[in-house]
């Protein structure tokens, strides 16, 4: 019995430490697309085993969260160094909608991990990042973004913009676009959460 009580005390301490770690990294399940669950089992002789797993269920992208845009078929990421405009610039090429591939009529919440296309809200042309990519993991003002909308809601087929989290410049697809029906590795994207607030240092990305 004494060993069992000691085991429960250790579990409590371990869980407290995990919560402290999450707080120090400013993590939450909703923000990172991660959900951590644990299960405690008491075995013979009071031995305590804690089983933990990460649930990859998709969570909603929120206004102003730091993200990067991956091209999963090429292990690359979007770099807007060659296709950006000033943050206040408004045109067909900067007012964008995200469409969920396979369900382009969806109006649900924008989700981490979904396969998406990025389209002009006005003309229907779509981002083709064939000449606007870099290696995954590269951190700069042109690769770490915030998705913003006028009302703060991020939903598929609703107008929004993609802005640099460092200097506020925004994606402008005028020099990196294709017809709306064009499908290739350069027109399919996945949103992933960036969990480090300091993009001048090492950026860590949620699994």
pLDDT digits (tens, 9 = 90+) for 3-33: 554 554 555 555 455 445 444 433 333 343 4
Report, as an integer, the average pLDDT of 182-195.
95
Mark whether 93 and 166 lie in a shared domain.
yes
Greater model confidence, 194 or 18? 194
Mark whether 187 and 101 lie in a shared domain.
yes
Q: Are 147 and 68 a contacting pair, CB within 8 Å?
A: no
Mark whether 101 and 185 lie in a shared domain.
yes
Mark whether 9 and 94 lie in a shared domain.
no
For residue 164, what are the β-bridge partners?
145
Phi first, then psi, for residue 39 (nearest 5°) are -140, 130
Q: Please report, rounded to a whole number, the percentage of residues in the chain having pLDDT higher than 90.
A: 65
Residues 21, 22, 24, 27, Cα dihedral to 10°: 160
Residue 146 inside a domain? The answer is: yes
The pLDDT, as a whole number, for residue 2 is 56
Q: Are 74 and 185 a contacting pair, CB within 8 Å?
A: yes
Residue 85 inside a domain? The answer is: yes
> How many whole angstroms separate alpha carbon 53 and alpha carbon 107?
31
Mark whether 97 and 143 lie in a shared domain.
yes
* Mean of per-residue pLDDT scores for the chain: 79
Residue 201 inside a domain? The answer is: no
> How many whole angstroms separate alpha carbon 26 and alpha carbon 81?
28
> How many whole angstroms separate alpha carbon 137 and alpha carbon 76?
9
Q: Are 69 and 160 a contacting pair, CB within 8 Å?
A: no
pTM of the model: 0.70
Residue 167 domain boundaries: 66-193
Residue 203 inside a domain? The answer is: no
pLDDT in tens, 47-80: 444 444 444 457 999 999 999 999 999 999 999 9
Task: State how many domains the chain has.
Answer: 2
Q: Are 69 and 191 a contacting pair, CB within 8 Å?
A: yes
Strands (E), the chain: 35-42, 48-55, 66-71, 76-78, 84-85, 96-100, 115-120, 126-127, 133-135, 145-148, 161-164, 170-171, 177-178, 189-193
Residue 80 inside a domain? The answer is: yes
Residue 200 inside a domain? The answer is: no
The pLDDT, as a whole number, for residue 104 is 87
Residue 206 inside a domain? The answer is: no
The CA angle 165-151-107, to the nearest 5 degrees, is 100
Select from 33, 55, 77 the last residue of a domain.
55
Mark whether 50 and 85 lie in a shared domain.
no
């Amino acid at each position: 019995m004494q060993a069992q009580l000691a085991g429960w005390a250790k579990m409590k301490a371990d869980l407290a430490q995990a919560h402290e770690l999450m707080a120090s990294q400013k993590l939450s399940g909703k923000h990172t697309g991660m959900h951590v669950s644990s299960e405690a089992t008491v075995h013979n002789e009071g031995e305590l085993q804690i089983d933990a797993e990460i649930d990859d269920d998709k969570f909603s992208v929120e206004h102003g969260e730091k993200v990067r845009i991956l091209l999963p078929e090429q292990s690359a990421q979007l770099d807007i160094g060659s296709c950006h405009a000033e943050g206040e610039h408004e045109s067909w090429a900067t007012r964008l909608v995200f469409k969920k591939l396979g369900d382009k009529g969806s109006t649900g919440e924008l989700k981490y991990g979904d396969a998406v296309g990025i389209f002009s809200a006005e003309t229907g042309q779509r981002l083709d990042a064939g000449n606007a990519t870099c290696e995954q993991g590269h951190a700069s003002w042109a690769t770490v973004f915030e998705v913003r909308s006028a009302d703060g809601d991020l939903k598929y087929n609703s107008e929004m913009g993609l802005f640099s989290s460092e200097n506020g410049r925004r994606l402008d697809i005028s020099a990196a676009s294709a017809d709306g029906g064009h499908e290739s590795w350069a027109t399919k994207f996945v949103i992933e959460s960036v969990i480090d607030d300091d993009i001048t240092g090492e950026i860590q990305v949620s699994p």
